């Protein structure tokens, strides 16, 4: 329920902020009571919370209409909310707003669908005849063999019930995994040919098995996965593998050697174990191995063995049959291993897997079959297994917490990722991450030489993950300006100037002054608090009165434990 993006009328900025409409506002029902965003998060339904519907008196001037957003697999992502301040009209006036909000939410979901499946063929369908305008645009993502690998919300809502004899009306798995010919009366080749197989090709009419017609067009893949055959004696992978794997490293000799070895392992029938400290990019390497393989157009399923509760890990991995236990889904559930069939199963933090599950996983690796909970027949699976751990698995074997036979099943080949502090291509990593995060935040991505020196000297105990967080912080504080020293996280500055942080509860921020800052201005917590309250927590106005930069005001607020009341909304 935390606001991560916000667009509002600048004229009403102060009033909107007082009402809680600002970045970082927390609308969770636990904190804010009944409200549009928080209730939508809880109910997963489009709704309007009009004025007196709000629990807190401070929110009664608001009329909020929210709709949930889901990813292509039907997993909840967030909420799109439209709010109006001091509406003179009754609740009924919000009906059109609700319709618009749902429509825009659907457009966001469809844009995300196209992005997620940009490497697949996307079949776009519009209804014709009596169903015109009953549903939005239907989208199906299809691989080169004509198998459906993704379906948007309208596709799941409309197509899944058209022919119950061919597609059982269960959940989203109705469509995913089925061949396109199981839904339409056309073969996949006919559709590609009639639409010319390219984005913007002619629209044609296709019909489902019950006779419903749809106008269809096809979006071609932006980077369609290509199948490669590696001949005997071919010691190196194809150029595409080198390109994909090369994206994750710069001019570091150790990484180049590791990636060369990784390229030779692609598409070989051998399990791979990736070792490395937390945050070194083990999943990134696993994904690159998958993307450069012949399984690239099949699922990549990542499982964090440390994140799933021990009581649930068996059902999550292996799935279960209908009625297996109280609270189970009526239709049963496919496990993560079965969902990876045909593709890659990535077992992250394998060293944290319980011993009992290690025994069952051993059977999967040896027999290539699983037995869901409550099933009496095993199910064959075809998958490539990549495991990863930051632990010393040999030491765990000696301690009796990890099976030796499982270890040798997993480590057909071992790839050891170096820590960031050991890499010679830190500048490459900083540049790559900075550009990616700046693009996501729609801001500029430049950094001063002085700031770069500090980043290169820093030890990075949290590795790539810490580097990404630090650069996101710097981009946010710089707010479109060139990133300079004062924009960096305090722990990086502290390490550079050799001033250890004092021991105290909560996060600690150094009290460094930089050129252009007026020492002593607002230095006392009480002085800063008075000015903040005087300007209704407007940071820019506070900084202007004190003669400080905004970053200094933020830093002193954090140092003194001063938090805007908007944070608690």
Cβ atoms of 38 and 79 closer than 8 Å: no
pLDDT of residue 391: 93
pLDDT of residue 177: 66
What b/e sequence results for 55-65 when a residue is b if at least 16 CB atoms lie within 10 Å of its CB, and e otherwise?
Answer: beeebebbbbb
Q: Give the angle subtended at the CA of 21 by the CAs of 63 and 441, to the nearest 5°.
A: 130
Token code pair at residue 46: 């489009």
Burial class (CB in 10 A: 0-12, 13-18, 19+), 455: buried
Q: How far apart are CA 51 and CA 83, in angstroms?
A: 11
pTM of the complete model: 0.48
Please name the residue that has the structure tokens 């710097």.
474
pLDDT of residue 210: 52
pLDDT of residue 344: 94
Smallest CA-to-CA distance from 371 within 314, 329, 307 is with: 314
Q: Which CATH architecture has domain 2-115?
A: 2-Layer Sandwich (3.30)
Cβ atoms of 403 and 387 closer than 8 Å: no
pLDDT of residue 246: 72
Cβ atoms of 159 and 136 closer than 8 Å: no
Give me the residue spans of the domains in the chain.
2-115, 118-219, 239-416, 420-497, 526-560
pLDDT of residue 173: 43
Q: Give the angle subtended at the CA of 273 by the CAs of 271 and 279, to the nearest 5°.
A: 145
Topology of domain 420-497 in CATH is: Helicase, Ruva Protein; domain 3 (1.10.8)
pLDDT of residue 543: 83
Q: Give the angle subtended at the CA of 183 by the CAs of 181 and 188, to the nearest 5°.
A: 30
Burial class (CB in 10 A: 0-12, 13-18, 19+), 232: exposed
CATH of the structural domain 239-416, one choice from 3.40.50.2000, 3.30.360.10, 2.100.10.30, 3.40.50.300 = 3.40.50.300
Scanning 419-549, the segments in alpha helix (DSSP H) are 426-441, 449-457, 463-478, 490-497, 525-534, 539-546
Q: What is the mean pLDDT of each run of 10 residues along the chain (569 residues)?
A: 69 66 72 80 86 76 87 81 78 81 88 84 68 61 76 73 39 59 57 47 51 68 41 37 72 87 90 93 92 90 82 80 67 85 93 87 88 86 94 94 92 92 89 83 80 90 91 86 88 68 32 36 67 77 82 78 53
């Amino acid at each position: 329920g935390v606001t991560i993006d916000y667009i509002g009328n600048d004229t009403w900025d102060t009033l909107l902020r007082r009402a809680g409409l600002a970045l970082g506002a927390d609308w969770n029902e636990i904190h804010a009571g009944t409200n549009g965003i928080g209730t939508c998060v809880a109910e997963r339904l489009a709704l309007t919370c009009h004025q007196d519907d709000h629990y807190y008196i401070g929110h009664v001037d608001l009329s909020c209409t929210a709709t949930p957003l889901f990813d292509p697999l039907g997993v909840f992502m967030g909420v799109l909310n439209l709010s109006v301040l001091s509406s003179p009209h009754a609740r009924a006036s919000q009906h059109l707003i609700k319709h618009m909000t749902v429509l825009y939410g659907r457009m966001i979901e469809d844009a995300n669908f196209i992005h997620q499946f940009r490497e697949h063929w996307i079949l776009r369908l519009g209804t014709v005849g009596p169903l015109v305008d009953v549903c939005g645009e239907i989208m199906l993502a299809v691989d080169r063999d004509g198998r459906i690998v993704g379906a948007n919300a309208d596709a799941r809502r409309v197509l899944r019930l058209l022919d119950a004899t061919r597609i059982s009306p269960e959940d989203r798995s109705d469509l995913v995994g089925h061949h396109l010919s199981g839904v339409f009366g056309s073969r996949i080749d006919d559709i590609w040919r009639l639409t010319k197989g390219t984005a913007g090709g002619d629209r044609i009419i296709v019909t489902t098995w019950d006779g419903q017609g749809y106008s269809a067009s096809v979006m071609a893949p932006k980077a369609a996965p290509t199948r490669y055959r590696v001949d005997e004696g071919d010691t190196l992978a194809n150029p595409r593998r080198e390109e994909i794997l090369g994206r994750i490293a710069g001019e570091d000799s150790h990484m180049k050697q590791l990636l060369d070895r990784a390229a030779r392992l692609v598409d070989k029938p051998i399990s791979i174990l990736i070792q490395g400290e937390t945050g070194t990019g083990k999943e990134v390497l696993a994904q690159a191995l998958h993307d450069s393989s012949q399984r690239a157009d099949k699922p990549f399923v990542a499982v964090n063995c440390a994140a799933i509760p021990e009581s649930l890990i068996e059902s999550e991995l292996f799935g279960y049959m209908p009625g297996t236990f109280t609270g189970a889904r009526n239709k049963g559930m496919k496990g993560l291993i079965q969902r990876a069939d045909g593709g890659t199963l990535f077992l992250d933090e394998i060293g944290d897997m319980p011993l009992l599950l290690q025994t069952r996983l051993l059977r999967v690796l040896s027999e290539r079959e699983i037995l869901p909970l409550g099933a009496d027949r095993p199910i064959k699976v075809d998958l490539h297994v990549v495991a990863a751990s930051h632990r010393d698995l040999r030491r765990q074997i000696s301690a009796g917490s990890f099976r030796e036979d499982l270890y040798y099943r997993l480590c057909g080949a071992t790839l050891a990722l170096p820590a960031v502090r050991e890499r010679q291509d830190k500048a490459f990593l900083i540049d790559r991450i900075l550009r990616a995060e700046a693009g996501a935040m729609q801001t500029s991505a430049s950094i001063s030489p002085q700031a770069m020196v500090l980043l290169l000297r820093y030890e990075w105990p949290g590795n790539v993950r810490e580097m990404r967080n630090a650069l996101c912080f710097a981009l946010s504080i710089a707010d479109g300006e060139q990133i300079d020293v004062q924009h960096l996280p305090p722990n990086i500055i502290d390490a550079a100037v050799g001033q250890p942080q004092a021991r105290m509860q909560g996060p600690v921020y150094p009290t460094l002054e930089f050129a252009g800052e007026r020492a002593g201005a607002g230095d006392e917590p009480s002085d800063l608090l008075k000015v903040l309250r005087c300007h209704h927590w407007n940071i820019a106005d506070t900084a202007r009165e004190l003669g400080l930069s905004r970053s200094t005001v933020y830093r002193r607020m954090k140092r003194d434990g001063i938090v805007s009341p908007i944070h608690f909304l």
